[in-house]
Structure 1
Amino acid sequence: MPSLRRAAYLALAWVSFALGVIGAFLPLMPTTCFMLLAVWAASRGSPRFADWIRDHPRFGPAVIAWEDEGAIPRYAKWLAVVMLGVSMLVLVFTVGILWLKLTLIAGLSLIGVWIFTRPEPAISS
């Protein structure tokens, strides 16, 4: 059973990593959250893979900032808040049920506030 669990964590890590890489090129797809999930899963399935992600020049600094300080770089905050705003705008025009639309917009707004109130890394990444 432990090897099956390890394989499941490793598979989740690779899928998350792949989605994160895709997110680096597609503006509506997140990158950092998938990298955080990849590192979490890889640390349970393949610590070497987790270390490789942490050492990666593009993805590593944001992951390390989150793990060490719970911090989000300023550019990532702005990008996330802008993308949340775009998502809210899409909801305004596509969701017909008023209570659902308002609930989703309120939820996205709270997420945006939470993201924006996270500290920035001590060393800019």
Structure 2
Amino acid sequence: MVKKWFWGILGILFVGLAYIGIITPGIPTTIFAILAAWAFSNSSPELNNWLHNHKLFGKYLNNWEKKRVFPNKGRLAMFFVMIISSISIYFTLSRKALLIAVVCFILILIWAFRYPGSVEEYEKRVKEGKKIGWLN
């Protein structure tokens, strides 16, 4: 019971961050919606259903789960947030922290840009027999 509450509260937090991402430039929406769906899948089928049928988030979640599409807009927002974060780390923390952060950011970007950015790109990859992502 405690686990369900934990995952439910975490899911609600991620939905809130996804909403903030809609109105705030530079904060990604898609990744928070995906994290919310993951949290809700561990807590409440009703909330998970609600999120998958949501008019703002449903399309992105369904595209991710069925086709592994990571929207170009989300990738670009993630890239710019990482640049801003790197600059702030440069001025506030040690060079070692900056190096660790930049390496992590680069690995995350490589992962994100490996997936198709649109349904059209997904369909093109399928038609050409190319991999969709790293694991499929």
Instruction: Give the alignment's TM-score, normalised by structure 1.
Output: 0.80
Which among 112, 116, 120 is matched to residue 113 of structure 2? 116
4+ residue runs over 4 A deviation? none
1:89 positional shift:
2.4
* Aligned residue type for 1:27: P
* Aligned residue type for 2:110: V
Counterparts of 1:16-35 in structure 2 under 5 Å? Answer: 16-35=14-33
Q: Percent identity?
A: 26
Aligned to 1:74: 72
Cα 1:93–1:5 change in 2 (3 A) is closer
Q: Distance in 1 between matches of 2:23 and 2:104?
A: 26
Counterparts of 1:4-23 in structure 2 under 5 Å? Answer: 4-23=2-21
Aligned to 1:84: 82
* Aligned residue type for 1:98: R
* Aligned residue type for 1:39: A
5+ unaligned residues in a row in structure 1: which ranges? Answer: none
Q: In the alignment, does 2:49 pair up with 1:51?
A: yes
* Aligned residue type for 2:16: A
* Aligned residue type for 2:25: P
* SS of alignment partner, residue 25 of structure 2: coil
Deviation string, structure 1 residues 60-107 (Cα, Å, up to 9, x no partner): 122112111222012212221122222222222332x22222221122
Aligned to 1:64: 62
* Aligned residue type for 2:18: G
CA RMSD, aligned part only? 2.1
5+ unaligned residues in a row in structure 2: which ranges? Answer: 122-136
Q: Distance in 2 between matches of 1:122 and 1:19?
A: 25
Contact 2:26 2:77 in 1 (8 A): no
1:53 positional shift:
1.0
Cα 1:50–1:106 change in 2 (3 A) is same
